[in-house]
């Protein structure tokens, strides 16, 4: 790691916080001693990464137990609930004049959901199968950002994409050419201060959490720093909690993912809501969303 400097602050001192990354033979998880940025090192080789996202990603997500479907039609339908969750907290930003772009739009389930609130929607999705499906439904979807070079948008969304990027700073700088003056960027990523990893941190949780596809693991602080470094004005970083108390109890009791909703008969909705609200208040939630402006 002697040739490595932190992409956020330039420091060259790192501390190893986890020695192994699942599905990788050689990677570990490191943290910059100066600014706290956490990242995987080394990343997947570029060629392997290309094939991974073009061909293997839906299968990989399914193996991790996500509700992600390999069949595009099922994926679109399974994610309707997720689309409504997102719409709920972003709808104040949408206007009938908004031209909207989503990076990593998969089957287009989110931009389809917001279509009636805005002027135009457009997606970028490298997965061939998902992109073909979206286009087939009339949702304009391109394989890469270079296909819409120079086209500017009022709002650019992405959900669980930014943590996959190997050059986040370069990416945010380049993205400016697609943002109108005063335009907004709304990116949602996992929060590395998630109570599962920062407090419970059982061997099973850590083995699952540090993963091949995630190169960077952001906190509210490091995410904000990344955007500010690239000249964006950060309006807000919002915490939210997607997984419920049952999921967490399942991790502790049976040492596995996939416990969502499982023990709701025992713990009840009231306790679940209070638990989630507490995680959000303490900054220990599983998800953070940055609202930034150019």
Residues that bind Zn ion in the complex, under the rule CB under 5 A: 6, 8-9, 11, 32, 34-35, 37
Q: How far is the CB of 171 from Zn ion (least distance, A)?
A: 17
For 236, counting Cβ atoms within 10 Å of its Cβ (0-12 exposed, 13-18 middle, 19+ buried), the class is exposed
Smallest distance, Zn ion to C-beta of residue 103, A: 24
Nearest CB to Zn ion, comparing residues 9 and 148: 9
Q: Which is nearer to Zn ion, 152 or 229 (CB)?
A: 229
Task: Specify whether the backbone of 268 is left (phi greater than 0), alpha (psi in -120 to 50) or beta.
Answer: left
CB of 43 to Zn ion, least distance (A): 17
Distance, in Å, from the CA atom of 48 to the CA atom of 291, rounded to the nearest integer, reads: 32
Tokens coding 187: 């990116």
Q: Provide, rounded to whole angstroms, the least separation between the CB of residue 232 and Zn ion.
A: 18
Nearest partner of 226 among 283, 273, 169, 264, judged by Cα? 169
Burial class from Cβ neighbours inside 10 Å (0-12, 13-18, 19+) for residue 116 reads exposed
Cα 160 from Cα 170, distance rounded (Å): 18
Q: Which residue, 105 or 225, is less far from Zn ion as judged by CB?
A: 225
Cβ proximity to Zn ion: between 8 and 220 the closer is: 8
What is the H or E stretch that residue 174 is in? helix 168-175
| Closer Cβ to Zn ion, 38 or 185, answer by number | 38
> What is the rounded distance in angstroms from the CA atom of residue 214 to the CA atom of residue 46?
14
As measured in angstroms, the least distance from the Cβ of 252 to Zn ion is 32
């Amino acid at each position: 790691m002697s040739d490595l400097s932190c992409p956020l602050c330039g420091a060259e001192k790192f501390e190893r916080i986890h020695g192994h990354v699942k599905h990788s033979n050689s990677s570990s998880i490191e943290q910059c001693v100066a600014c706290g940025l956490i990242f995987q090192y080394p990343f997947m080789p570029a060629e392997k990464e290309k094939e991974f996202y073009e061909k293997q990603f839906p299968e990989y997500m399914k193996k991790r137990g996500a509700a992600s479907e390999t069949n595009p039609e099922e994926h679109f339908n399974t994610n309707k609930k997720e689309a409504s969750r997102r719409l709920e907290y972003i709808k104040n930003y949408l206007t009938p004049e908004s031209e909207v772009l989503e990076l990593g739009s998969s089957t287009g389930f989110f931009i389809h959901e917001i279509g009636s609130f805005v002027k135009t929607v457009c997606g970028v999705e490298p997965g061939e199968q998902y992109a073909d499906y979206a286009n087939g439904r009339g949702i304009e979807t391109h394989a890469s950002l270079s296909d819409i070079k120079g086209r500017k948008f009022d709002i650019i969304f992405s959900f669980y994409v930014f943590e996959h990027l190997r050059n986040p700073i370069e990416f945010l700088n380049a993205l400016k050419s697609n943002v109108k003056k005063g335009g907004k960027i709304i990116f949602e990523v996992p929060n590395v201060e998630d109570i599962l990893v920062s407090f419970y941190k059982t061997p099973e949780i850590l083995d699952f959490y540090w993963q091949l596809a995630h190169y960077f693991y952001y906190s509210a602080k490091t995410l904000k720093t990344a955007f500010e470094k690239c000249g964006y004005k950060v309006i807000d970083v919002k915490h939210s909690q997607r997984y419920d108390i049952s999921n967490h109890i399942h991790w502790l009791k049976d040492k596995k993912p996939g416990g969502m909703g499982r023990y709701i008969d025992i713990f009840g909705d009231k306790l679940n809501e209070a638990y989630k609200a507490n995680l959000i208040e303490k900054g220990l939630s599983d998800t953070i969303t940055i609202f930034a402006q150019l």
